[in-house]
Structure 1
Amino acid sequence: MKLMKTTIASSLLALAMAASPALADGPVAERSGTEEQASFAADRETILAMAGDYRVRFDMQESTPWREGYEPLERKISGGHESVRVIEDTGTRIVLQHLLVVDAGGTPMVIKHWRQDWEYEPARILAYEGPGRWAWEEVPERMRAGRWAQTVWQVDDSPRYAGWGQWETTNGVRRWRSNWTQRPLARRDAVRNLVYDLYAAINRHQLTPDGWIHWQDNTKMDLVEGGEEPVVQEYVLNTYTRFADYEVSAADEYWAATQGYWQAVRAEWDRVAQARGGIAIEEEAQTGTVISAELLGMGDDILSGSLPEAEAIARAVTLIEEHTTAL
């Protein structure tokens, strides 16, 4: 009986994930060249507006249990200071790098955080398939025009998740909403005694008068025989409020010292994804991937001057090559 219920639940969720974005939105309505140009310019302005220095509040709340007997976790709120920098802008591609600045006993310490890449009218995205696997997924051709893909990368520049959607203004609020995406567990869940394996989610980004918000609607899923089973709903609201009364210079000093290294790391992940049809690497609860800690550590060593950049790049390339496998 449990297997039958699981199969039905999985089938319904799969149907919803496949159909809902298209049924909800459909192709972007046909626009004149002038309207298209104005919309594209507004999209770019909105994405670029997410760069800056912020006080960040992370608010996570499990709510509705989908599995009988599951008790939702208590609400968790945390925060910090984060600098977001534009590290690439080709017009149709914008890359934003997030850098956390924390107080380490009176000395500012920078932690390279997540990265978000925005691509206009993408043909495909690098989507999370399940534990340790990210594969290229075609964006339906009729859903490309006027839309942007957002790909989110982990702290070591390995992939995390990707989705596509349209920037639009609704009720006076500028926002972007993704299609259904899957992504690996965040550290807060991965380090616990697991009762779920991944998230099925919709992501929203919206500008506010003093910054922006990233809102996540997460269904936490359990991989079971025959498919996936929903366990609990979670709502995450990450609020970025413009604020520069912290050691912003530490973030810029870190990036000035390490950007060449991280550019090479990004290039190697991209090469592997292109050559192998995606990326397969073992996940690790504390850091995301089994090589994340070493990749991040070498960035710190470059900053301190204890490791030459060229040596770090060579080691990083070797690590990525040795720990990734064919899909």
Structure 2
Amino acid sequence: MRAILIAAALLTGAAPAATALAQAPAQGATTPASPFERDRQSILAQAGQYRVHFDMRENVSFNVDYDPMEGKLSGGSEIVRVVYDKGDRISLQHILVMEHDGQAIVIKHWRQDWVYQPETVVAYAGPNHWALTPVSADQRAGAWSQTVWQTDDSPRYGGVGRWTYVNGLSVWTSDPTWRPLARRDAVLNPVYDRYLGTNRHALTPTGWVHIQDNMKMNGRAGGEPVAIVQEDVVNTYDRSTSYSPKAGDDYWAATQDYWAAVRDAWDAAIARDNGVYVEEEAQTGVVTGPPLMDLAQKIQNGEITTEAAIVQARATIDAATKR
């Protein structure tokens, strides 16, 4: 039911210290003393309170039997909070804060973790599988990895790239990165089963933008995946004070200790198996999504203690990831 409400809210447009906003550097602001610090400030500038616009367009078919779908436009209200800032490691949590038919809807959305000069990255390796992948010394020098995690803090994709500052742009560009299907595509049972995408995060005068160049690929036959269609995705985050972030911040304050334990449990599973196997579902991303999200909601509702929820969450992750 909550998934239906989320979709409806998006279509209609309708933490302790970590909740402080990080605004983009002002025009003409002093350049940070080091390239490393300049990168850090660019990452932290993504924190804030936004109206988000999602623009997804399939452009070019590479399969004679496939016609590109019509473009999809949607929007929503989203806050981005700093989970932690450890210098060379930064975590940002996205939380949807919307209203539908007078009902407040708060959904813990995706999370992005940044690591400077990473030795490994959690990369999508095909259906139900994410691998802890080494990053070569040349590739990681001066670079940042960005790992994106799903709503239940299970992995989604990871890539490595560099921030650049030319032509008036502050932009991070990833290497080509494998990704699982988004719900919007997975529920259609399409002929493709994964994306190969390049991601760019660029600061704008009013916030930032996430630009994706996705090649939708079919790898079901084994061997080298085959390109089906190319897609552009432009997700624009514009700062906004047109809504109250309180419901989202209240949710995060109530559940952040639980989610910290969930992150630790996923990290342990990944370290144990040098990656992780967990079954994917079209509606939820992975099978752990509904139970882990429900436990967080029960904490906020006062139906279960944080400690009891953590015990159940660890058991859920352990059962879903052991083969």
Structure 1 length normalisation: TM-score? 0.87
Say whether residues 1:276 and 2:281 are aligned partners: no
Partner of 1:91: 87
Partner of 1:243: 240
Paired with 2:43 and 2:189, the residues of 1 have a C-alpha distance of 37
Partner of 1:4: none
| Native 8 Å contact 1:108 1:247 kept in 2 | no
User: How far has the Cα of 1:291 moved from its partner?
Assistant: 1.5
Q: For 2:267, what is the secondary structure of its paired residue?
A: helix
Partner of 1:151: 147
Q: For 2:34, what is the secondary structure of its paired residue?
A: helix
User: How far has the Cα of 1:170 moved from its partner?
Assistant: 2.1
Partner of 2:13: none
Paired with 1:244 and 1:268, the residues of 2 have a C-alpha distance of 35
Structure 1 runs (4+) greater than 6 angstroms displaced: none
Paired with 1:107 and 1:252, the residues of 2 have a C-alpha distance of 17
Structure 1 residues without counterparts, runs of 5 or longer:
1-34
Paired with 1:72 and 1:307, the residues of 2 have a C-alpha distance of 46
Paired with 2:33 and 2:193, the residues of 1 have a C-alpha distance of 42
Say whether residues 1:294 and 2:287 are aligned partners: no
Paired with 2:153 and 2:70, the residues of 1 have a C-alpha distance of 31
Deviations 1:113-168 (A, max 9, x none): 00000000001101000000001111121121111000000000000000011101
Paired with 2:199 and 2:241, the residues of 1 have a C-alpha distance of 26
Partner of 1:129: 125
User: How far has the Cα of 1:209 moved from its partner?
Assistant: 0.1
Partner of 1:319: 316
| Native 8 Å contact 1:83 1:248 kept in 2 | yes
| Native 8 Å contact 1:46 1:207 kept in 2 | yes
Deviations 1:195-240 (A, max 9, x none): 1000001000000000000000000000124321100000000000
Which of 191, 206, 210 in structure 1 is aligned with 2:206? Answer: 210
Partner of 1:228: 225
Which of 254, 274, 289 in structure 1 is aligned with 2:251? Answer: 254
Deviations 1:253-278 (A, max 9, x none): 00000000000000000001011111
Paired with 1:270 and 1:61, the residues of 2 have a C-alpha distance of 34
Which stretch shows the higher mean deviation, 302-311 or 44-53?
Answer: 302-311
Which of 21, 41, 47 in structure 1 is aligned with 2:43? Answer: 47
Say whether residues 1:193 and 2:193 are aligned partners: no
Amino acid at match of 1:241: D
Partner of 2:67: 71
| Native 8 Å contact 2:32 2:38 kept in 1 | no
Deviations 1:256-306 (A, max 9, x none): 000000000000000010111111000011111112011111111111111
Q: For 2:145, what is the secondary structure of its paired residue?
A: strand
Deviations 1:29-69 (A, max 9, x none): xxxxxx99610111011000000000000000000001112
User: How far has the Cα of 1:308 moved from its partner?
Assistant: 1.2
Amino acid at match of 2:247: A
Taking every aligned residue pair, what percent have the same amino acid on both sides?
Answer: 50
Count of aligned pairs: 292
Structure 2 residues without counterparts, runs of 5 or longer:
1-30
Paired with 1:255 and 1:278, the residues of 2 have a C-alpha distance of 28
| Native 8 Å contact 1:36 1:146 kept in 2 | no
Paired with 2:168 and 2:222, the residues of 1 have a C-alpha distance of 45
Paired with 1:147 and 1:157, the residues of 2 have a C-alpha distance of 24
Say whether residues 1:114 and 2:116 are aligned partners: no
Amino acid at match of 2:174: S
Amino acid at match of 1:150: Q
Amino acid at match of 1:283: E
How big is the alpha-carbon RMSD for the aligned residues of Structure 1 and Structure 2? 1.3
Q: Greater share of helix residues, 1 or 2?
A: 1
